[in-house]
Amino acid sequence: MASTDSKPTIDYTVRTGPGTVQVDPSTGGDQTWSVILQPDDKIIVGGESFQTAIGYPGSPGDESYGTRGSFTSVRLNSDGSLDSSFSQDGIALVPGNLDPEAYADYVMAVQADGKVLAAQPGLGGLKVERFNLDGTLDTTFGSDGAAAVVPPFSYDGLSMYATADGSVYVSLRGTSQAIVFKLDSSGTPDRDFDADGALVLNPTGHYGSGNIATVVQPDGSVLLGSWLYVGSDGPHDPGDPVYAVQRLAADGDLDTAFGVDGVVYFDAALGLDYRSAMTVQADGKIIIAGESKDSTAFNVLRLNVDGSFDTSFSDDGKLTLQVPQGEKNYAHSVVIQPDGKILIAGDVITRLNADGSLDTTFGSQDGQYHVDGSMEANQLIGNDTAEIIRGLGGDDVLQGAGGRDVLAGGTGADIFRFTQISDSYRTATETGSDRILDFDASQDRVDLIALGFTGIGDGHDGTLAIQANADGTRTYLKSFDANADGQRFELAFEGNLTGQLDSTNLVFTAPTVEGTAGKDVITGSALSEVIYGLAGNDRIDGGRGSDVIIGGAGADHLSGGDDPNLSVYGRNGINDADVFRYTSATDSYRTDTQSFVDLIDRFANNNDKIDVSALGYTSFGDGTGTTLKVVYNQDLDRTYLKDVEADPQGHRFEIALTGDWTQDLGNTEMIFAQAEEVTLVGMSSEVALG
């Protein structure tokens, strides 16, 4: 990056627990590929961060929505905290010159200096590129930033890793052969590594599809891990795949002193697959990290030098670690620290002590689970456990979800959201109430819309009571009526806020936002709102939240305003489902000479809806009677929902959507009226259905 002022803002979040760190560098999807140690014990984590490249989530047609990947380099201090002296707050977004999603054969790794290595097909075989932190090719690597490795066979499996001295190992596997290339720190083949920087391996067995893991040991031998197909007549026949590790000597042939004739076959019940990661300790013991049969956990195994399980590790050499809700249960990379601690890079970075126990000096320093935002506006959603969630800067949305959470919005106008009673409650025997540390009654709000309470009262019959404790150090918002699970909603605030909590900062129903009779520009908040444009050619952006948008009269430009970097159904269970509602035939119409047609922009398939029930329309059709016709205008790239029959004033109801929705717009995107006893608004009674 050229300077601090020129760096783009990074909307990141950090989750920490005992022994774990998870850095989410963007609001889009993220993936961790590699981890490496610096000489000063700082940790560099490499991965990808995905942003919307074309269209938006939920846009019509698969070809209308796509993402672009940026490489990421994240530097952590030895305790797992972000190293703010590195790039921007410890995170570098490294633009690449490729779309990683376009390649089936693609790997990346990060060097100890944070530079990014990427390998994909090209240059007559495989092209290995190195990128600086600003995204430019590092022209000191290979030839103008790229080095070529050319395997002598057709390959399927592919892996790459970097070592602390800058060396790069690239490995490829075919069905019965494998090869390891070694490049020095300048991208030149290491001539001291077997034949001109390439070691051809002769593993046993039959390999099918799937990736590999390799480790080159100090004595020149190579460990090769992948699925090996094992048949009914023995391990050398095609059949069902099992994960296997082979050790091959420096000449490329099997080392028969390892395992059984050079191979260790793992029980299929472990659930290991080809995405496993592998490394070797200084004492020669082997660490393998990979999937398990349990989709919410992954395995970590340690083998002795001869391939047997090391029973000093987690009692039997096998350890199962849970992953956070919604994260992948496999690892891309694993390294050993000089002190013997084990760093595993999956969706979450985990550090173990040498005996397999969680290293609680890494990640959370107080034994609690934390979710921390950046100085930008963040949407921070907890998991079903007790967490400390901090928004820091920006106008944040904080949602603890399950567990007894502690919430701190920091600076900015923050929203504390509760979507079910179990988010914050008390029963006759237990307390699961959340606590807000820094509620600013002048600008912060508590979003209670989804809970169904009607307002402030005595805590009965749908109301919530406001009470302070005896010494005035804490204020409670509570219900005294339990639900079917015996839970009574209860939320605690630090300090005495009894004179400050009211209907402006406790939001029980979706707020109403109204325009004027003129041409308005309205942008909603992160709350779910009902927005009325009224008359005039308005421009309405609903913002975050599940909004109801009623443009009213005039040719309005309407958008639900969902974040383009969020998936259609949002992240962490968030679902911003907007409704575009029409209550009068004059809200959007065309005559023979004029157009007052609304344009709906960024309509999200399978998420947003158009509500025409009040107008009496019952289905799609030819545009006559109570049907709406769907017509696409290619020149304007707009889809029209139209009534082809004019009312007595010459108005024909019509709505426009950006893009081609002819194949994607269905009944799930519409709210139609029931077919019985429908009268079209503005029409004469003769067209009523009975």
**Structure token pair of residue 399:** 């949602």
Give me the pLDDT at residue 175, please.
Answer: 79
SS3 486: coil
Amino acid at position 131, single letter: F
Check if 105-352 and 369-507 are the same fold.
Answer: no
Partner residues linked to 352 by β-bridges: 342, 358
Cα–Cα distance measured from residue 104 to residue 155, given in angstroms and rounded to the nearest whole number: 12
How many Cβ atoms are within 10 Å of 48's Cβ, its own excluded? 25
How many alpha carbons fall within 13 Å on the CB side of residue 338? 9
**Assigned CATH topology for domain 369-507:** Alkaline Protease, subunit P, domain 1 (2.150.10)
Cα–Cα distance measured from residue 564 to residue 669, given in angstroms and rounded to the nearest whole number: 19
Q: Percent of the chain having pLDDT more than 70?
A: 89
Sheet with 116-122, side-by-side order of all strands: 107-110, 116-122, 125-131, 146-149
Domain 105-352, CATH number (from 1.10.3470, 2.120.10, 2.30.30, 3.40.720):
2.120.10
Nearest in space to 168 (alpha carbons), one of 176, 160, 158: 160
318-322 vs 125-131, strand pairing mode: unpaired
Cα–Cα distance measured from residue 330 to residue 352, given in angstroms and rounded to the nearest whole number: 16
Spans of all domains in the chain: 105-352, 369-507, 512-671
Partner residues linked to 32 by β-bridges: 47
Q: Residue ranges of the chain with pLDDT lower than 50?
A: 1-8, 564-574, 683-690
Burial of 104 (0-12, 13-18, 19+ CB in 10 A): exposed
Nearest in space to 446 (alpha carbons), one of 475, 408, 417: 417
Q: Which residue has the tokens 């260790």?
A: 264
Give me the pLDDT at residue 100, please.
Answer: 52
**Structure token pair of residue 282:** 């200084």
Give me the pLDDT at residue 233, please.
Answer: 62
Q: What Rg value do the Cα atoms of the chain yield, rounded?
A: 30
555-572: string of b/e by CB count within 10 Å (b at 16+)? Answer: bbbbbbbbbbbbebebbe
Q: What is the pLDDT of residues 568-618, one digit of tens each?
A: 333 334 457 899 999 999 999 999 999 999 999 999 988 899 999 999 999
Burial of 85 (0-12, 13-18, 19+ CB in 10 A): exposed
Nearest in space to 378 (alpha carbons), one of 24, 86, 74: 24
Give me the pLDDT at residue 544, please.
Answer: 85
**Structure token pair of residue 262:** 């050079």
Cα–Cα distance measured from residue 49 to residue 70, given in angstroms and rounded to the nearest whole number: 5
Partner residues linked to 336 by β-bridges: 342
Partner residues linked to 88 by β-bridges: 91
Nearest in space to 189 (alpha carbons), one of 202, 199, 177, 174: 199
Nearest in space to 597 (alpha carbons), one of 636, 542, 648: 636
SS3 630: strand
Can you list the alpha helix ranges (DSSP code H) found in 454-613? none
Nearest in space to 570 (alpha carbons), one of 396, 391, 379, 392: 379
286-291 vs 297-303, strand pairing mode: antiparallel
